[in-house]
Amino acid sequence: MLVLILRRLAYAAPIALGVSLVCFSLVYLAPGDPLQAVMPADVTPDMVEMIRHEYGFDKPIPVQYALWLWRAVQGDFGLSIGSRRPVIVDVLGSLQNTLLLTSFAVPIAFVIGYTLGAIAGCFPGRWLDRTVTGFAVMGVSVPNYWLGIVMVIAFAVELSWLPATGMGPRGSDAFSIFSLGDLRYLVMPVFTLSMVPVGIIARSTRAAVAEIRGQDFVITLRAKGLSETAVIRHVLKNALPQVLAVMGLQFGYLMGGSILIETVFTWPGSGFLLAKAIINRDIPVLQGAILLLSLVFVATNLVVDLLQSAIDPRIRRA
Amino acid sequence: MMQIAPSVSNPRRLLRHLLSACALVGLSLSQAQAGGVLTVAMTAGDIPVTTGTPDQGFEGFRFVGWSLYDALVGWDLSKADKPSDIIPGLATSWSIDPNDHKRWIFKLRQGVKFHDGCAFSADDVVWNYARMTDNKAPQFFAQQFALNRGYMTNVANIEKVDDFTVAITTKFVESLFPYTMSYIPMVSRCRAEELKFDWNAFAMHPSGTGPYRFDRMIPRERLELVPNKDYWNPARVPHQDRMILIPMPEAATRVAALLSGQVNFVEAPPPDTIARLKSAGMQIVTNVYPHNWPFTLNFVKGPFTDVRVRQAANYALNRADFVELLGGLATEEYAQVPPFMPYYGKPVRYEFNTKKATELLKAAKCYPCEITLAISTSGSGQMQPLPMNDLLKSQLEEAGFKVNFKVMDWNAMLEIARGGVDKFPDIDGYNGSRALVDPVIAVIKPVAKAYWSPAGANWGHFYNAEIEKLVADIFTEFDDAKRMALLTKLHEAENEQAIMIFVVHDVNPRAISPHVKGFVQSQHWFQDMTPISVE
């Protein structure tokens, strides 16, 4: 297992380096000047040069990359162009808030999606299957920002059951998952966020279960006289690695934060941070956030790989 | 020894003490909450920077800049029925040196203290100037340099005359110079030195002389300010107990937050939500203010070099349709500044007349007249740019124009605005809303040669000898009444030249909970939040 972990880590290193190169290139790939947001409308060329120098954009590109990478390895992603706050502080703070949403949304999505998919897969072509598939398609198709706005109108504005936005009356610093009052702020963003993965996981599970039910070993199990319940247990266990891979991907996507959902609910997570950085052309924040999120994605896939190997020995041997 | 508990042997006396105690507790609680908590949903995507001159446009000044800090020159924001103008701030008076019209003397207010307790004096003004301009000074802060340079263009030097007098030397004679000093907040030297010029630390512990003190901030989420009870102007000590500023860029979210009671003061509710907000009992506050939504034009190349084409574009527009499109949250724009401004005068009124527009285009031999206009999908003060520009295109084309839009995001538009006509010669005009806060920004910068882009805001390199002379006369005229007459003449001349395509003025809508009292919406981009209390 240790060899497997080391091998997977070795695969992850060049991916991380490649991601770092893409992130750094953002400064030059993105249209517009990254310093635009902080410069006055009638700035003169000599002032632009002075500002460039102060912000370190006047050095040769390879030198800028080397310096940036060296600092990034030490956890220093520089300062935000807009706020001049350390990027790492903003990115880690926002990731923490998104992690909170994701840690609720992913298990909920997995339990609901896996259950619905398993039911549909066990009754292919029947009304139950069609109903679940219809629900899954709806989950994937309904724009989640629209769902978020509708929920806000229904549950916050009209019924006053839940708060409309934010992370509580004192902000994220004072947010506690042990406080019922604070947990109310999680309900709508978590539900909205989990709708897409519910659909995706349900469809993947349904496909996997339906496929496995047709395999030879299932016929063998039935021929051996196992009850249908026992057969389904075997089928579900075999479907798990595939579903786990899908769930891992969904976790990675959700950690990237849903820009739209976090904006609708003013949830100060990584999506909200990225949206603001894009609007303000805050390239250091974009670089830091995308690099860290990519590393989270790579790490998530690594963990999923290892979990799959643990569940299914065939993968370990492959 | 002081008796702290009543004798239990006398029940009536005990009851009386208990009632008194309850009354005292009740009184103190009611005093503590008399002003309530004002929670503002801003349109900004982040907390404006707290280290002096804020970012996030004039919204940053409105809520953060002028809450924590003061400038030498202030703005009178106390009235809703007349235009705001400059008033003494940290300077009690200013005057031009009679022997040198490039030298201004500012007398400073005595007895003013920063939030950290340090006294304000001429040394602080000189120190703040170095903070923004001298990259060798330990207090130099590139961010503030960048944010301030637009305002410091004409400042050559600031020197201390005595403890409460400074002399400011300008690069050229500018009778309107005091307006410049209304955009430069004074931050505390003591606090900066105490924090060893760590401006990130300063951002979390800012110290100014403003009516609010910093209490706490969660970056990107909220800034909480409390009244500065020792504010030098007792009339502007905040009436509320606390002001919480929340960045909420999504308009629908701001409205939902107000309707659900999470905030009680919302900036810029969208026009289509006004009826719903009113039905929920919210106050919708609007007022005229110096804003316009025009097209800035190219005077170097293309059809708009001909004044008849510019006039045709202005005659082609039915501004009433734009106001209707915006649910009444705008006024028709026929000139550079709105009619309430003191130098509006009697400009030519380009009433909707498609036939006349067509005739002008034919006379200019530009029929059909193909033009390329840059428009943004959103942006600060841009109102509803896409539907408004669809309407504009249809009306211009009705008159004989052929409109090509280059659609871009706000930052790309800013690049065009800053690059100037030399960098973007094929753009015939761009749609950027303007803050016409003072006469220099409003009517001088768009036409004077000294402000040709990229060094200044005359994007299209407009030049007219008569107008150039008027600008020179304005800058050298130190008599207020005579200068106002010249400014009026300039405004009228600009309109005759149709220097822009005038469309609408915004009316600055805000939605406010019925529990919020005392807000007076001035005719300005800045607003005074101090008189507000929350029931």
Query: Helices A87-122 & A228-255, crossing angle to 10 degrees?
Result: 160
Burial class (CB in 10 A: 0-12, 13-18, 19+), A29: exposed
Within 13 Å and on the Cβ side, how many CA atoms surround A295?
16
State yes or no: ipTM above 0.95.
no
Interface mutation target, options A94, A165, A273, chain B, most CBs of B under 10 Å:
A165
Q: What is the CB neighbour count within 10 angstroms for residue B361?
A: 25
**Are B322 and B295 within 8 A, CB to CB?**
no
- pLDDT band with cut points at 50, 70 and 90 for residue A124: confident
Residue of A315, A162, A170 whose CA lies nearest to B218: A170
Q: A82–B218: do the CB atoms touch at under 8 Å?
A: no
| Residues of B whose CB is below 8 A from A161 | none
Nearest to B257 among A32, A51, A164 (CB): A164
pLDDT at B29: 40
Written as one letter, the residue type at B67 is: S
Say whether residue A58 is in contact with chain B using an 8 A CB cutoff: no
CATH architecture of A87-317: Orthogonal Bundle (1.10)
pTM above 0.90, yes or no: no
- For B257, the token pair is 């937050």
* Residue B127, CA distances (Å) to A51, A73, A313, B49, B113 in order: 20, 38, 70, 20, 16
Q: How far apart are CA B205 and CA B214, in angstroms?
A: 7
Q: What burial class does residue B25 get, using C-beta atoms within 10 Å of its C-beta: 0-12 exposed, 13-18 middle, 19+ buried?
A: exposed
d(CA A312, CA A302): 15
Domains of chain B: 31-69+210-287+508-535 (3.40.190.10), 70-194 (3.90.76.10), 291-506 (3.10.105.10)
A240, A310 Cβ separation under 8 angstroms: no
Q: Which residues of A84-100 are buried (b: 16+ CB within 10 A; e: fewer)?
A: bbbbbebbebbbebbbb
Phi, psi of B331 (to 5 degrees): -125, 155
Q: Where are the alpha helices (DSSP H) in chain A?
A: 2-29, 45-55, 61-73, 87-122, 127-141, 144-151, 180-213, 216-223, 228-255, 259-264, 270-279, 283-311, 313-317
Question: Hey, what are B302's tokens?
Answer: 């293309």
Contact residues, chain A, for B199 at CB < 8 Å: 84
Cα–Cα distance, A175 to A101 (Å, whole number)? 12
Location of structure tokens 């040769």: A60
> Scanning every residue of chain A, which has its alpha carbon at the shortest distance from the alpha carbon of B45?
A276
Q: What is the pLDDT of residues A260-282, one digit of tens each?
A: 888 889 899 988 898 888 877 78
Residue B430 to residues A11, B229, B242, B301, Cα–Cα distance (Å): 50, 46, 41, 14
Residue type, B423: K
Q: How far is CA B57 from CA B53, B64, B330, in A?
A: 10, 11, 20
The 3 state secondary structure assigned to B501-525 is EEEEEECCCEEECCCEECCCCCECC
CA B145 to chain centre: 19
Q: Choose among B142, B409, B410: nearest Cβ to A54.
A: B142
Within a 10 A sphere around the Cβ of B465, how many other Cβ atoms?
8
The helix/strand/coil state of B92 is strand
Angle at B425 between CA B419 and CA B428, to 5 degrees: 100
B119 or A316, greater pLDDT? B119
pLDDT in tens, chain B (535 residues): 333 333 334 545 444 544 444 444 444 444 444 589 999 999 888 888 999 999 888 889 999 999 999 999 999 999 999 999 999 999 999 999 999 999 999 999 999 999 999 999 999 999 999 998 888 899 998 888 878 877 888 899 999 999 999 999 999 999 999 999 999 999 999 999 999 999 989 999 999 999 999 999 998 899 999 999 999 999 999 999 999 999 988 888 899 999 999 999 999 999 889 999 999 999 999 999 999 999 999 999 999 999 999 999 999 999 999 999 999 999 999 999 999 999 999 999 999 999 999 999 999 999 999 999 999 887 777 888 999 999 999 999 999 999 999 998 777 787 788 788 999 999 999 999 999 999 999 999 999 998 898 878 899 999 999 999 999 999 999 999 999 999 999 999 999 999 999 999 999 999 999 999 999 999 999 999 999 999 8
Helix/strand/coil for B198:
coil
Q: Do A165 and B455 touch (CB under 8 A)?
A: no
Q: Give the minimum alpha-carbon distance from B475 to chain A in angstroms, rounded to a whole number.
A: 19
Contact B429, B404 (CB under 8 A): no
Residues pairing with B158 in the sheet: B168
A165 CA: distance to closest CA in chain B (Å): 6
pLDDT in tens, A208-223: 998 898 889 999 998 9
The amino acid at residue A35 is L
Q: Which uninterrupted H or E stretch holds B68?
A: helix B66-68
Tell me which amino acid residue A170 is. R
